[in-house]
Structure 1
């Protein structure tokens, strides 16, 4: 499956500059942090990410704090960033905008 091939650093840099400009690439992971108003808003973000992840059948690591949500994406099967991670990050980015003001 071509989607399970690791992306090159150039591919990742291109995705970050074009569609994922709020994400960062740290230690072979795509990372995004959202600062929220409170616990309930954090949970709303996590719940929405869960729905998107299930739809895509690709699941991120999530860290939930009172007023912060951290998403860490990589393809666990090959321990690298793949097209699946970019697709999921883009879907999350577009959908979460409606939750956090």
Structure 2
């Protein structure tokens, strides 16, 4: 996927950002969770969706309450439409009990 196409699709997945790491485009989103165990619960919800989709994001739990998810297609070394679909499905997960503050505001760092 070209950078231009990725920039046109990023608005479809609220809260996600485009990253360019060494020429590899990735989707990235960060949340603050209520506790370390709530972060693990969030990962479990994401894992269930990822298994169904057959598409597995990179999951990071930094400190005790900072969760970051990166999505990209390793096989092509960048983004595909499936990455945006997975991001949209993650956005649809019931995260209200896991996050600190408002869900809508959780994408800010």
TM-score range, shorter chain: 0.7 to 0.9
Q: Which runs of no fewer than 5 residues in structure 2 stay unpaired? A: 104-109
Q: Which runs of 4+ in 1 moved over 4 A?
A: none
User: What TM-score, normalized by structure 1, do the two folds share?
Assistant: 0.84
Alignment coverage as a number of residue pairs: 94
Is residue 62 of structure 1 aligned with residue 59 of structure 2? yes
Partner of 2:19: 26
SS in 1 for 2:93: helix
**Gaps spanning 5+ residues in structure 1: where?**
1-6
- Normalising by structure 2, we get a TM-score of 0.79
- Write 1 or 2 for the structure with the bigger share of helix: 1
- Residues 96 and 61 of structure 1, relative CA distance in 2, 3 Å threshold: farther
RMSD over aligned Cα atoms: 1.4
> Are the counterparts in 1 of residues 60 and 68 from structure 2 also a CA contact under 8 Å?
yes
